[in-house]
Amino acid sequence: APVFAQSNVQIYGVADAYMRYGQLMGDDLMSVHDGGIAGSRLGFRGEEDLGNGLKAVFLLEEGYDISTGKSAYMSGTDSAANSGSDVFTRQAYVGLKGSFGQVSLGRQYAPGYFADPYDAFMGGTVGPMADLTTFGGLTIQPASLARWNNSVAYNGTFQSVSIAAIYSAGNKETEMAGSSGYDASDDDKYGVSLKYDNGPLKLGAIYQGVKFKSRFSGGSYIDSPADRDETQQDWLIGAAYNFGVATVMGLYQKGSDVFGRSDLDVDFWQLGAVVPVGPGNIRLAYGQEKIDTPSGPDYKPKSFTLGYTQDLSKRTAVYVGYHYTDYDDMPWGTALGYGFVAGANGHSTTTPENMDSTSFAYVGMIHRF
Amino acid sequence: APVFAQSNVQIYGVADAYMRYGQLMGDDLMSVHDGGIAGSRLGFRGEEDLGNGLKAVFLLEEGYDISTGKSAYMSGTDSAANSGSDVFTRQAYVGLKGSFGQVSLGRQYAPGYFADPYDAFMGGTVGPMADLTTFGGLTIQPASLARWNNSVAYNGTFQSVSIAAIYSAGNKETEMAGSSGYDASDDDKYGVSLKYDNGPLKLGAIYQGVKFKSRFSGGSYIDSPADRDETQQDWLIGAAYNFGVATVMGLYQKGSDVFGRSDLDVDFWQLGAVVPVGPGNIRLAYGQEKIDTPSGPDYKPKSFTLGYTQDLSKRTAVYVGYHYTDYDDMPWGTALGYGFVAGANGHSTTTPENMDSTSFAYVGMIHRF
Amino acid sequence: APVFAQSNVQIYGVADAYMRYGQLMGDDLMSVHDGGIAGSRLGFRGEEDLGNGLKAVFLLEEGYDISTGKSAYMSGTDSAANSGSDVFTRQAYVGLKGSFGQVSLGRQYAPGYFADPYDAFMGGTVGPMADLTTFGGLTIQPASLARWNNSVAYNGTFQSVSIAAIYSAGNKETEMAGSSGYDASDDDKYGVSLKYDNGPLKLGAIYQGVKFKSRFSGGSYIDSPADRDETQQDWLIGAAYNFGVATVMGLYQKGSDVFGRSDLDVDFWQLGAVVPVGPGNIRLAYGQEKIDTPSGPDYKPKSFTLGYTQDLSKRTAVYVGYHYTDYDDMPWGTALGYGFVAGANGHSTTTPENMDSTSFAYVGMIHRF
């Protein structure tokens, strides 16, 4: 039988599953869930030496939900706005790499994905940051809103400093004139970050802008004056310091005109610590969000997670913990109206029913391959 | 060029295609079909030695239809009830393995999938068992209804005895209170099996329960008293004995409140034999089902398959045969009403049109890699 | 840690992305696009020596759009007419190979896919051929319409001559009697090709037939006399000759009863050249189509591309160029009515708005792995 050389492609991935028991926005919860520490993925990557320090690189990364076997980690808009089934939901790019850094084309991470050094839960779904940045619609987040289609990205690391920049043409390739001559379909995005990582200290600053010139709804872009929206602008600063007995980290971020809605402003801060204890680490984070709606009151959701992670090897770990989020009694109708939740899930959006808290204990394992 | 070590992931799979000619429920049939012996799949798996006899394991298995290149082998409900595209339609799990057995989390096989030792066609789609257990809605079957999301599974083998147990939280993670306070969304599932395999003799017993507390329809769970259904309960006993000149096998199984419909009871039995002849095997099986509808007559579909399989190597085989199923003149309206067929396929469900038989000759090949 | 041998499966693929700037049918265009030279794909293939010169072969090939991470390269009809998500959108087959050639079953290329030797852009999406054969609905094309489900294929090469033949049962497995007794669902396809390739000369002839006995629309096959359509018949002749200083190539093709519409005839011719210049190649092609509509005027879209390709290695190349297509002022309503465009994309199909030209500059890279 012929033996094929496997020199060009590396297969890698994550399988991360956990069980959680408790309450999800007031409903009894008991399930297997994906990605307590890192979202499950299967990836294919390679690089080729082209000489003179130049390399060709490619990466294809499929996110999946281990609890269902379905694809995951592509935003609803990215999925609906393009034809085909969801495959390389996390990343797909090809590029050139050298001493100058890397330039690549495809579906790629915005800089906002990489705020994980300032989060004690490294962007995992059990932490406050993953929970509340998604709830608040912030594009600087460790989840789907920070993966951008049709993008050109630059990444460079020079000693302790790394720079990232990205421009995405959005999901709409053409910029059509609407019936009134207005350009009704521009959904470009752009982002930059500057990070410092040296010894015990990590610092970072990130900025992202996302245009919403026409709203994407029901599978198409709407060309009406009422849906000619604003540009969401997000920024974040974060820091982490390893004191030896513990690493302490924190971040502050702010989003203006969230979802392109004029005057819908959201900010979020989080403090956390990772404390080595015996063979594992205790992890703790507390985060608080302020949602400033154009009309109506402000809401201040808050969330904390206390967890313990123990490595069984360099590639495998088990983890347990407790997560709590209080949505500050936001009415279901408000949450659905602004798009903070995808569905009312059986709750009334007309009678004044408020969102109950989420609280669950979890236990799981992650295996990297 | 860098050479990546491929030490962590094994790629494996099946490519199985056959042509069939004949009649499908009365319509002229001529097509390429998937999985005459085993459903086509592409899998990625690995294990890591953690020391002290403990191993981390993962497995990701994508089922595909080789005749169309599309995903296959995920039930319609599993596909519709969860977001994303169908990817690892067969299995996706991560777990720990040791002398105690294996505990794993994810989308996994229920014990009912593994009744293949008692089926002369090893669960292949050309055999009576695969045909009539799917038609009758039995969850103990070699097909999609025996793959469960959100599950915790235990599998252990101790000398000649193997034990399997699974609990699935179903597709609905939360258990919502309905408008009347009734829990309207519980779709939990559970199953156990005990098997004996020693020398010429194989024995097995399987039990599964599937809750239907609210019907899933049109993409959501319905909260109305009329759709508060029962728990489908299935059990099976099977046996196989290798007499040398032939292996003879049989099974009996019964499902109560099938699809959660009160008093819809289905039973099925099958007898078969595998006879080594020259370089190949003759395979023969006959199965008969009884569908006991709550109102209206009983139906007794029956099916047989006569086939011949010849190995070209340990990994590759060719096969031919003839399959016949008689649906006992069940009206199309009855079959569609109870969910035994997914669509009427152009046949009338209002005028009294009965289902004609399925009969086809087939020829195909399977390649394992 | 256990090391798995990877002897049975070869992973291969293409990652090809380019940026384009200009106009697409009149709209401002600025985006990342897939497959300037070859459509992005990830494939798994293998072969097993069965002795006596016989081999088992399999191939699974997933097409993806690198700009979105979604699946690509399955026709809309193939996707809608079959259940499941799009996975192995390009090819999925298993077969036997020997001195006689190769016989295989699955989703496979029709011979019309392999007209690339006669196209200076090798079937890449930036060339005139890929653009206008797709626009004109010709099934002899380097794109989705030349990938056929439910097919049996033969391919054989004998010295300088290669022969290909395929029969596809289409997407509809059964051939149902319609309400009037007419067979309303036959969508079979068949194709043959004969090619000669020796030294500087390449010649080829291709024929394909695609039945449209009932129209597939909105997810199902329509059984009405008005939708009982014709068989689309396509043929092509092509040639290429390498003069050393340049390779010159050309093709002529014709389709009758395109999309099964009686008297909708389309022909297309293209001339091109590849000229080695320094470390790269200049590529040039001009193509012209004639669309002869049953009622109404003829349209003659024309297209040219001028490009430059430079290899950075055997596996990696960069490319730049300029593409132009003039749709001969076809009204949007006509283009949509005949199915030449998938959507009006915001343009009026009722007021007499004509299609503006497409013109863009592009720059990209391809990496094969």
pLDDT in tens, B71-129: 999 999 999 999 999 999 999 999 999 999 999 999 999 999 999 999 999 999 999 99
CA distance B193 to A25: 36
Are B312 and C93 an interchain contact pair (Cβ–Cβ within 8 Å)?
A: no
For C347-360, what is the mean pLDDT?
A: 90
CA angle B114, B116, B121 (to 5 degrees): 155
A108-368 to CATH, choices 3.10.580.10, 3.40.50.1000, 3.90.1150.10, 2.40.160.10: 2.40.160.10
Beta-carbon pairs below 8 A across chains B and C: 174
Question: Do the chains contact at A67 and B8, CB–CB below 8 Å?
Answer: no
Q: Above 70 in pLDDT, residue C7? A: no
Query: Phi and psi (nearest 5°) for A300?
Result: -125, 75
pLDDT for C307 beyond 60: yes
Contacts with A67 from chain B: Cβ below 8 Å:
105-107, 149-150
The DSSP bridge partners found for residue C325 are C303, C358
How many angstroms separate the CA atoms of B39 and C143, rounded?
A: 28
Give the minimum alpha-carbon distance from C38 to chain A in angstroms, rounded to a whole number: 13
The neighbour count for residue C64, using CB atoms within 10 Å, is: 32
Task: Inspect the interface and report whether the beta carbons of C105 and B364 lie closer than 8 Å.
Answer: yes
Q: How confident is the model at residue B3 (pLDDT cuts 50, 70, 90)?
A: very low
- Partner-chain contact A175 C87, CB within 8 Å: no
pLDDT, tens digit (0-9, with 9 covering 90-100), for C257-284: 999 888 899 999 999 999 999 889 999 9
Partners of B47 on chain C (C-beta within 8 Å) are 2
> How many helices (H) and strands (E) are present in chain B, helices listed first?
3, 22
Q: Give the C-alpha separation, C226 to C215, whole Å.
A: 9
How much is the pLDDT for B169?
94
Q: B301 φ, ψ to 5°?
A: -60, 145
Q: What percent of chain C has pLDDT over 90?
A: 81
Which chain B residues are within 8 Å of C78, Cβ to Cβ?
A: 68
User: What are φ and ψ of residue A100, in 5° steps?
Assistant: -75, -10
Residue A239 distance to chain C (closest CA, Å): 32
Residues of C in contact with A50 (CB under 8 A): 312-313, 316
**What topology does CATH give the domain B15-368?**
Porin (2.40.160)
Per-residue pLDDT at A1 exceeds 60: no
Interface of B with A in 35-64 (CB under 8 A): 44, 46, 48, 50, 54, 56-58, 60
pLDDT above 50 for A4: no
Least confident window among B185-189, B346-350, C216-220: C216-220
Q: What per-residue confidence (pLDDT) applies to B1?
A: 35
Which position has the token pair 């194989």?
B202
Q: Is B345 on the interface with C (CB under 8 A)?
A: yes
What are the helix (H) ranges across chain A?
Answer: 76-80, 128-136, 332-338
Residues paired with residue C310 on neighbouring β-strands, in sequence order:
C280, C318
Secondary structure class of B75 (helix, strand, coil):
coil
Lowest mean pLDDT among A209-223, B11-25, C82-96: A209-223
Chains touching chain B, criterion 3+ CB pairs below 8 Å: A, C
Q: Does B6 touch chain A (CB under 8 A)?
A: yes
Which fold is adopted by the domain C10-368? Porin (2.40.160)
Rounded to the nearest 5 degrees, what angle is found at the Cα of A22, between the Cα atoms of A20 and A25? 110
Q: Is the ipTM of this complex over 0.90?
A: yes
Domain ranges for chain C, please list them. 10-368
Contact check, Cβ <8 Å, C31/A169: yes
State how far the Cα of C112 lies from the Cα of C141, in Å rounded to an integer.
6
Nearest residue on chain B to C179, alpha-carbon basis: B346
Interface test with A, best of C4, C19, C32 (most A CBs within 10 A): C32
- Chain B contact probe: residue of A66, A73, A315 with most B CBs at under 10 A: A66
CA dist A300 and B153 (Å) reads 40
**Length, in residues, of chain B:** 369
User: Please, which residues 76-115 of chain C have a Cβ atom closer than 8 Å to chain A?
Assistant: 76, 85-87, 89
Q: Mapping DSSP to helix (H, G, I), strand (E, B) and coil, where does residue B146 land?
A: helix
Lowest mean pLDDT of A224-233, B177-186, B220-229, B330-339, name the range: B177-186
Tokens 């009006």 belong to residue: C344
User: Quick one: which H or E segment has residue A34?
Assistant: strand A27-34
pLDDT tens string B226-274 = 777 789 999 999 999 999 999 999 999 999 999 988 889 999 999 999 9
What is the reported pLDDT for A7? 64
SS3 content of chain A, % helix, strand, coil (to 5): 10, 55, 35
**Are B17 and C106 a contacting pair at CB < 8 A?**
yes
- Between chains, do C107 and B67 touch, taking CB under 8 Å as contact? yes
Q: Which residue has the higher pLDDT, B4 or B16?
A: B16
